[in-house]
Structure 1
């Protein structure tokens, strides 16, 4: 094998990796999935404002929607990527930051006399999360584009 052939083969492998990554991001971070995920987070956070039996009962449909999302991902995703340690740690850190921000905002809203502090804080956290994710995904797309050949 000549060096030019090896370089061309490596370039082809990188191109396919970029295409797979772009497809993964395009499916996992599509507008519908992001909105549904934001709705799940919002309902979960807003359930703290409901009276005792209903606050926990709201989480049953949330769990059902999460299971439905997982089933759709397993059935329909054209590209699946294995969860790496780095991605898992990033997810845990993002989740902890989200819950921490929610706690600070709900405490501030409660101190300010807002009648439903968890609902307001959940709406703010979800709106900020959507903005951050959309900017991150739009700015971090690989050069191969979205499924182009």
Structure 2
């Protein structure tokens, strides 16, 4: 094999990896996924304001929504690839940051004396998630 042929093959592999990453990102940042994830954030965090016997039952729709999201992802994803370690770490860090922000908003709302501080924080978090996902998906849709 000639060195130029090997370099061309490596360049083609890198190009295909970027295309698959962009395809997966475009699919995962769709409006359907954004709305389902916003509902998951809303329901799971608002469940803290529901009285004791029912707050666990609120998690059942969250599990159903996550199962629906996984099913749709596996059935309709244009590309199935393993996420890299840095992508997993970024996702975990974003989840921890979201939980910290929601906790801070709920504490602030509780300090002011609002009756359902977790629900208000969950609404703000869900709207924030929608804005971030749809804003990040904007450049992808233009391609």
Q: Is the 8 A contact 2:49 2:119 kept in 1?
A: yes
Q: Higher relative contact order by CA 8 Å / sep ≥ 6: 1 or 2?
A: 1
| Aligned counterpart, 1:16 | 16
Can you give the 5+ residue segments of structure 1 that lack an aligned partner in the other structure?
Answer: none
Do residues 69 (structure 1) and 69 (structure 2) align? yes
Q: CA 1:79 to 1:3, structure 2 compared with 1: closer, same or farther past 3 Å?
A: same
Return the alpha-carbon distance in structure 2 between the equivalents of residues 88 and 4 of structure 1. Answer: 35
| Aligned counterpart, 1:109 | 109
Can you give the 5+ residue segments of structure 2 that lack an aligned partner in the other structure?
Answer: none
Return the alpha-carbon distance in structure 1 between the equivalents of residues 89 and 6 of structure 2. Answer: 35
Return the alpha-carbon distance in structure 2 between the equivalents of residues 84 and 14 of structure 1. Answer: 15
| Aligned counterpart, 2:47 | 47
Q: How many residues align?
A: 142
| Aligned counterpart, 2:82 | 82
Return the alpha-carbon distance in structure 2 between the equivalents of residues 133 and 62 of structure 1. Answer: 19
Runs of 4+ in 1 over 6 A off after TM superposition: none
Return the alpha-carbon distance in structure 2 between the equivalents of residues 53 and 120 of structure 1. Answer: 21
Q: Which has the higher helix share?
A: 2
Return the alpha-carbon distance in structure 1 between the equivalents of residues 19 and 83 of structure 2. Answer: 18
Do residues 6 (structure 1) and 6 (structure 2) align? yes
TM-score between the two structures when normalised by the length of structure 1: 0.83
| Aligned counterpart, 1:31 | 31
RMSD after superposition: 2.1
Structure 1, 58-67 or 11-20: larger mean CA deviation: 11-20
